[in-house]
Structure 1
Amino acid sequence: MNQTAIHRLLAEYEEKQITPARSEELFRLRLAANLSIIKHLFSSLYPEDEHPGMFDKLVNRLPLLFSKRPKELRALDLERTYGRNDHWYQSEQLVGMQLYVDHFSDNLPGLISRLPYFEELGVNFLHLMPLTTRPAGENDGGYAVNSYTEIEKRLGSKKDLLRLTKEMRKRGMYLMLDFVVNHTSDEFSWAQKAKQGDSRYRDYYYTYPDRDIPDQFERTMPEVFPETSPGNFTYNPEMQHWVMTVFNKYQWDLNYANPEVFIEMISILLEKINYGVDVVRFDALAFLWKKLGTSSQNLPEAHMLISLFRLCMQVLAPGVIILAEAIVAPKDITKYFGNGILEGNECDVAYNASLMALLWNSVATKKTNLLYKSLRSVPEKPDSATWINYVRCHDDIGLGYDDQLIEELGWNAQSHRRFLLEYYCQRLHWSPAKGMMFMYNPKNGDGRITGSTASLLGLEKALELQDEEMKSHAIAKILLLHGIILSFGGIPMIYAGDEIGTLNDYSFLQIPDKKEDTRWLNRPRQNWETIAELGDSKNETAEIFYRLKHLISLRKELPVLADRNNLQLHNTGNPHILAYERTGPGEKGLLVICNFDEAEQVIDAGWVHSLGYGQNSGFKDLISGSRVELSSGLLPLPAYGQLWIVKD
């Protein structure tokens, strides 16, 4: 990009003199700067001799898409790209919440009225589960899309969404919406035209007249949902063709080997973010490219495709960032930030799925050895990227640990996974957890875990048994895990209901199109009656809410918690303890120490002093606001306790 021109435009921006004409000029400069790599990626995926004229079609489409970008959002793009807020998503001020609008507030107008609730808790970043139209019956919680831009009527309208985003911007809040980039529903307009015999739209999907090619794919493609959707293809009698359906029979995989699909999808994406979206969650992006003889997951072409989306967005809407929903092996997660020529040119944010799964492992085993081993094996992410750290989400808890690391600890990998399933899914009478199994595969013994955070951590069972010690431990575990995601490095994402200790919702078992999907166990409705009584209550709900609110407030007071790749793991020698430090130039360091055991644990106080924390007589704990006095050379941590210690 012409640096002289950029500096001139930046000076004008600082003086608030950017005009629509200047905005157009910046667009042209961004396009010129990125055009060569866009062409390289596009030509690699879609060679000109095989797809003549398609690159020109893309380039001609971009100015038309930019012309539809609202002025208010163009100004926001400039602020985030050329202003002082370029890495806003790495700030310690961000705290997120994920929710289903219908379960949380009935609809979008209701959600607008609930914005003060988020502000009270300290939440300023919302991930709303799919809002768009979907089939009336089974629809994978909205991830089977009938439209990418039309809003489901019972949730509201486009005007409601625009009103929400405008109100959120006024309050300094950010919005993330899903882009179901891998597939559509079988009711989507393209699928309907394909069923009617339109060959153009059949080529938007993977459709075959017989089982020859599908059978070749099946030899190497794993099953995602082996219980409810075995195999990867479904026969459609209307077309008399087999269609690729990796997730469910009603979700048709898009054929990105067809460049028309990419050009259509980048157009749809811009229309979607023009509602005022700040972060786009790319759903199931590891599956985007399919190739015979492979697993059709995590392929190099998928990475090139994601980068192509990203670079086009940098030209059209550079203030909007991409989240990778890549629930893959730990060693593969950082690849979605970009590698080699693509480094820094894929996603800006990724789910820290490894940390989430490892925390649940540490709760069950009461040890942190696998957590340390696994985290140290994950490559460092780019400085410009960040994580979303979470305890729970709408989905299952997968056990995607590295077998080799498990076996290096002297454990059998398959037996260890079976233990975790039995611990969390009510197969061990002594376990406090009350969860259910999801997608158990008898072929390999693999399975996943569902359940609300509170129920998996023992609160439901404690209340049933009226066991005060079990209840105290459950509350401590809830706060321990949330304290970690709030301080670890990245955007903490709280799952709606976890802030009040919501228990499992078993009502899904009575609903025909949900009863086979145990993930609905942890998709409860928000209990506003309980929330209304928080100020007058002294029960477990109020304790969790106000203590979590305190942790959120502490996070925002500590600039060192901004994500600058400034986390260092420390091994204390105690297998029950997790310890890590956040440091930064000119900022007070923060040492976080966590106990995953039900018994009090101790560590060497001299080791803590050697890092520069505390004095001989004790330490100041930020969470409690009091000093931890030492009666010996050992620092004690209560059952499931955590300390946040700042340097004096």
Structure 2
Amino acid sequence: MENAPLSHLEPRLIAHLQTIYPQLNSKELADQCLATFHLDPATESPRPHKSLWDQGDIMLITYADTLRREGEAPLETLHQFAKTSLSDAISAVHLLPFFPYSSDDGFSVMDYTTVNPSSGKWSHVTQLAQDFKVMGDLVINHCSSRSMWFENFKAGTHPGANFFYEADPTLDLSAVVRPRTSPLLREVQTKHGEKHVWCTFSHDQVDLNFERPEVLLEFLRIIRLYLEKGIRWFRLDAVAFLWKIPGTSCINLPQTHEIIRLLRLLIEHYAPESVIITETNIPNQENLTYFGNANEAHLIYNFSLPPLLINSLVTGNCSHLKQWLMSMPPAQQGTTYLNFLASHDGIGLRPTEGLLSEWELDTLINTMKRFGGKISSRTTPQGEAKPYEINISLWNALSGSAQQGPDQWQFARFLCAAGVMMSLEGVPAFYIHSLFGTENDLERVENTGQFRSINRHIWDMEDLEHALNTPTHHQKVFQSVTKLTKVRRAQPAFHPNATQYVLHMGENLFAFWRQSIDRRQSLFAVYNMTDQPQSFNLSELNLIATDTWTDLVSEQVYEDHLGKVTLMPYQFVWLANKKGRITQTK
């Protein structure tokens, strides 16, 4: 029967465990997993291919302590700001790691079960979850070298004695795909002698060993804690690197995909409204595999969007952006894309592989350097350093063109980028600094010595409130972007799974058609990607003659369906035959 529940939970769980741990007793391990999650083995599965989102869903990405007010817990400050200033603009909040940490602004977790006291308490997270959907980071590939687990590893005690991946330094590990330039292995003195532990990212971030079922069970306990605290969306950080087999690339291995399926199986049986998002900053075709057969990630990050869109806006040519969008498969019902332009990390360059030429990539990199950006590198299997990401604020990234440098179109270009992101198939996500037009924080880079700090500014709330209440570009960006989000959230044609069709209108105009799932609303999104006026004829859009067409951005009505439209530099239209109404998604 269509959309009937799948078979009972236990046999499906056993099948996953047999694939991951063929040498172990899968029935016993399944019993341990079920007991950890307090689940009945006969629990029926939720209905497959159910979309847990709609056009009203827009996500805010932020650190717990990005906004600070003296005498107040930052999580409380964030909640109050979101509630009073963003309740009409967003539906979900992605809290980047808010746990005690030793480096990497939270991604070297020391204790997965405790909220960093400098940010607040679990009660603050739970209160936030009462007003917004909350996505938490599951930093699953590695943890801090200063964690209790790693101290126990060195002492040979539990838990932790067998939690970390060790490797023989004499093995040929040249095929391992690296996101950094640091040595892969770190030498450590332990109670049992010298060991070499695996460090995909940094020597303070030691990779966990999921070959040990104890590690899996420990993370199931952590996940259940997050669920109990109100977290329902889970971001699996750096999950592509989870499983290691020396002699292979150690990325995207079958066991990694199987573990994601197992985690989803348990999480969605505990809370059927839960959502899994995989963070896999890798080439586009590899990234798409994390949908599985609609049984792995509900959402995957659209990692190719930021570099391709920024490249289009600074060159005035959308050919590569259009070609990429045409190649993207429509997501199955029950899955979709997470669209973003900026994040706590940089603009990833691996997702441009096969999409931009070396010359085009060099031009983009040099343009971003001209606008104050920094470049982080990785080591290839051949041992050479290669650009991995551009570190720059989105505001600075869009400050000019590749040909002319900084110009007067920065704001228009910035709003155009936000408009593109919000109108594409998928759920849009705004990094908090993209709501304010925060500039490069070069002082923070100097203080930390880390290029990524350039886009991790800490706002004092008095300073931010002043900036948003006086005629600054911060005020202009915030008011314009949030106004646009309210328009976007009302349109059924912007449902994350609504039909999308790319239009061919040359290299200067980026355009596509969206149609609501019930086919009642059609919407044509057309963007001028250049610093010169561009014109097109409405006859190119095949507008339904009996409908009235309105630009939802300017509210202009177009009565002449064959007329000519001229867009000023970076201007765009959302031309719709019907106006939607805002839906409440929380």
Q: Tell me, yes or no, whether TM beats 0.5.
A: yes
d(CA) in 2 for partners of 1:555, 1:549: 10
Alignment-mate amino acid for residue 501 of structure 1 = G
Aligned-partner SS, 2:234: strand
2:169 to 180, 188, 211: 211
- Structure 2 partner of 1:20: none
Residue number in structure 2 paired with 1:583: 515
- Give the 5 Å matches for 1:243-254: 243-254=197-208
Task: Give the aligned partner of residue 437 of structure 1.
Answer: 375
Q: What is the rounded CA distance, in whole Å, between the counterparts of 1:414 and 1:347 in structure 2? A: 31
Paired residue type of 1:391: L
User: Contact (CA 8 Å) 1:613, 1:647: kept in 2 or not?
Assistant: no
Say whether the 8 Å CA contact 2:52–2:334 is kept in structure 1: no
1:211 aligned partner, one-letter code:
P
Judging changes above 3 Å, is the alpha-carbon distance between structure 1 residues 187 and 534 closer, same or farther for their aligned structure 2 residues?
A: closer
Aligned positions of 1:451-470 closer than 5 A: 451-458=392-399, 470=407
Corresponding residue for residue 541 of structure 1: 474
Does the C-alpha gap of structure 1 residues 381 and 363 become closer, same or farther in structure 2, counting only changes over 3 Å?
same
CA distance 1:274–1:460, shift in 2 (3 Å): farther
Q: Residues 224 and 636 (structure 1 numbering): CA distance in 2 closer, same or farther, change over 3 Å? A: same
Q: Which amino acid aligns with 1:578?
A: F
Match of 1:190 among 124, 149, 152: 149
Q: CA deviation at 1:558?
A: 0.9
Supply the distance in 2 between the matched residues of 1:446 and 1:556 (Cα, whole angstroms): 37
What residue is the counterpart of 2:28 in the other structure?
Answer: 56
- Map of 2:488 onto structure 1: 555
The Cα shift of 1:252 comes to 1.1
Find the aligned partners of 1:204 and 1:303 in 2 and give their Cα distance. 20
- Structure 1 residues 523 and 623: CA distance shift in structure 2, 3 A: same
Q: Deviations along 1:324-356, whole A, 9 cap, x unmatched?
A: 111121112221111xxxx11111111111122
CA–CA distance in structure 2, aligned partners of residues 613 and 401 of structure 1: 41
AA paired with 2:75?
A: L
CA–CA distance in 2 between the matches of 1:175 and 1:647?
34
Q: Within 5 A, what are the aligned runs for 1:446-525? A: 446-458=387-399, 470-471=407-408, 473-511=409-447, 514-515=448-449, 517-525=450-458
Name the aligned partner's letter for residue 222 of structure 1: V
Change (3 A) 1:177 1:405: closer
Whether the 8 Å CA contact 2:375–2:388 is kept in 1: the answer is yes
The percentage of counterpart residues that share the same residue type is 23
User: In the superposition, relative to structure 1, how do residues 474 and 111 fare at CA in structure 2: closer, same or farther (>3 Å)?
Assistant: same
The residue aligned with 1:102 is 65
CA deviations 1:471-499 (Å, max 9, x no partner) are 4x110111111111111122211111222
Cα contact 2:135–2:232 (8 A) shared by 1: yes
TM-score (norm 1): 0.80
Alpha-carbon distance change, 527 to 644 in structure 1, aligned in 2, over 3 angstroms: farther
Find the aligned partners of 1:436 and 1:402 in 2 and give their Cα distance.
18
What is the SS of the residue equivalent to 2:514?
strand
The letter of the residue matching 2:251 is Q
After TM superposition, give the deviation of residue 403 of structure 1 in Å: 4.7
Structure 1 residues 535 and 256, CA, compared in 2 at 3 Å: closer, same or farther? closer
- Aligned equivalents of 2:401, 2:457: Cα separation in 1: 14
Q: How far off is 1:534 after superposition?
A: 6.3
2:249 to 285, 295, 303: 295
Equivalent residue, structure 2, for 1:180:
139
Which 10-residue stretch deviates more, 233-242 or 371-380? 371-380
Counterpart of 1:235 in structure 2 is: 187
Q: Which amino acid aligns with 2:107?
A: Y
2:522 is paired with a residue whose SS is strand
Q: 1:59 to 1:145 in 2, by over 3 A?
A: same
Point out where structure 2 has 5 or more consecutive residues left out of the alignment.
Answer: 579-586
For residues 593 and 337 of structure 1, do their structure 2 counterparts lie closer, same or farther at Cα, with a shift above 3 Å needed?
same
| Higher-helix-fraction structure | 1
The one of 180, 183, 196 aligned to 1:225: 180
Question: Hey, what does 1:73 align to over in structure 2?
Answer: none
CA distance in 1, matches of 2:423, 2:325: 15
- Which residue is equivalent to 1:409? none
Report the structure number with the largest CA radius of gyration. Answer: 1
Equivalents in 2 of 1:225, 1:265: separation in Å? Answer: 25
Contact 2:311 2:364 in 1 (8 A): yes
Code of the aligned partner of 1:551: L
Whether the 8 Å contact between 1:497 and 1:526 is mirrored in structure 2 is no
Say if 1:54 and 1:259, in contact at 8 Å, map to a contact too.
no
Higher RCO structure, 1 or 2 (CA under 8 Å, sep 6+): 2
| 1:355 counterpart letter in structure 2 | L
1:533 CA displacement: 4.2
Q: Is the 8 A contact 1:331 1:379 kept in 2?
A: no
User: Matches of residues 369-388 of structure 1 in structure 2 within 5 Å?
Assistant: 369-388=319-338
Shift of 1:613: 7.1
1:201-247 alpha-carbon deviations (Å, 9 max, x no partner): 44321124x522xx32x221133211xxx221111134511000110
Unaligned runs of 5+ in 1: 7-29, 69-76, 407-412, 427-432
Among 615, 622, 634, the residue aligned to 2:552:
622
Question: Any idea what the Cα deviations from partners look like across 1:270-304, whole Å, max 9, x if unmatched?
Answer: 11221100201100011111112211111122111
The equivalent of 2:91 in structure 1 is: 124
Letter in 2 for 1:116: K
Aligned residues: 565
Q: Distance in 1 between matches of 2:463 and 2:575?
A: 33
- For residue 111 of structure 1, what is the aligned residue in structure 2? 78
Q: Is the 8 A contact 2:239 2:280 kept in 1?
A: yes
Task: String of CA shifts for 1:48-82, please: whole Å, max 9, x gaps.
Answer: xx22x4541332441453279xxxxxxxx99x957
Question: Would you say the 8 A contact 2:37–2:220 is kept in 1?
Answer: no
- Report the 3-state secondary structure (helix = DSSP H, G, I; strand = E; otherwise coil) of the residue aligned with 2:209: coil
User: In structure 2, what is the Cα distance between the partners aligned to 1:456 and 1:234?
Assistant: 36
Match of 1:24 in 2: none
Instruction: Confirm or deny that 1:272 pairs with 2:226.
Output: yes
